[in-house]
Structure formats: C-alpha cells, structure tokens
Structure 1
Amino acid sequence: MTSLFHLCTACPHTHVSRDVRDGLTVVRIRGEVDIATAPEIQARLDEATRPTVPRVLIDLTDVDFMDCSGLRLLVRAERRVRERSGELRLLFHQPAIHKLLRAGGLAARFRTAAPPLERSP
C-alpha cells in the first residue's frame, strides 16, 4: 500500500510517499528537505519507525536540496530504529547529500542501500 503526502503549501514540489511490502517500509522523499518541510517529513518518518522491529529504507534519490534539518531527521529516524533493534538504510546518488553526511560526521553512521556515486577527480 502506498500513501502519498503533499507536505506544505509553501513547498508545492515536496512530497513524501510510504510503501510497505514484505515488512520493509520504503519512505520516498521528493523535493526539498529543509526547515519548512522538516515537521511533516518527521511525522512520516516517525510512522515508518514506529513498528516493534522496523525495517526502513529512506529513498532520497529525488531530493533536490537538503540542509541540516534533513540531517536531524535522519539521525532521529536512525536512533528510533536502533532503539527498536531494527534496520535503516539510505538510498541516494547525489554527491551533495554524501558531502553533507560527511561534513556532519554522519557518513559512517548510516548504511546505504547502494554506494553513493562520487565525482571523478
């Protein structure tokens, strides 16, 4: 079952969908992850990390922009999953997201579903 949520009138191009299949919850975020969209994204991630032993994939492949509000959301989701002995993975390809995770000292904290693409030197 897929649920699609439009986040806010100020951010008409940001959406979150949630799909649960075979015990895996896939949360897809499209658009911007920032201070304006963070409260609604947090609500959706809280729903995904609520089960007793959650298995969650956060798909960021369609995220155009993410600031430190996004890092806070990811850390909160990871902590909630860890407290419930679950599993959380991130899926993304944008070098900017990998750079943000590294800058925040968080790159090693998150498992990825596929390795991020790096730019060639």
Structure 2
Amino acid sequence: MAQDIVFIEALKVDTVIGVYEWEKTIQQTLQFDVEMYTDISQAAQIDDLSKTVDYAIVAEDIVNLVKQNQAELIETVAEKVASHILTSFPVERCRIKLRKLGAVASTASVGVFIERTK
C-alpha cells in the first residue's frame, strides 16, 4: 500500500481551552497541522474525490469537534482529533501538530506533536 499524505496546514480554531479559571472565560486560538497517511492512487487514477480523504470535510470535522468538546488540555484535543480521523476516514496513520497560539509570553506558540496508527 502506498504511503501518500493528505494534509491540512495551519487550520485555526477559536475555542475555550485551558486549566486556569481565567482561560475558561475567553476564547483562544488553536492551530492544527494534520498529516493523514493513505493511498491516493485509486482517486488519482479515476479522478474521484470519493476514493480519497476529503480534507475539507476533515477540517470541518476538526472545527466542530474542538468547539463541541471543550477540554482543559491540548493533549486531550490532539488525541480526540487523531481518534476521530482514524475511525472516520480511510487513513492508516495520522500526525497532528497542535499549537496554542500566544499561550506563553515571549513565544509564538506552544503545543504537542502526536502520531497515531489505526
């Protein structure tokens, strides 16, 4: 099986996230880079979106999942997103880089980078 990658880069989601009380009263921006390992050869051969991972739907799912399932930790968010991708799409492995923008003074972002396999 080919190891092609369908990716989403710099998807931003504003949501309530954090462990501190003040964080629970504001929205903060999370930014996702997602790599989904799949085989795109059949889709490419017959030029058919239904035979690949529709990144527009994945992006929409991530936004909805994050907004509807508020968490305290970005680790929790990353795990939920990875689990959803692996169970909902024809993806064997996914890598997620999740940044919390402006969360720590003097940094552009902090975050986690996870890789999960079906």
Task: Tell me the TM-score normalized by structure 1.
Answer: 0.29
Which protein, 1 or 2, shows the higher relative CO under an 8 Å CA cutoff with sep ≥ 6?
A: 2
Task: Tell me the TM-score normalized by structure 2.
Answer: 0.30
Greater fraction of residues in strand: 1
> Which has the higher Rg, Structure 1 or Structure 2?
2
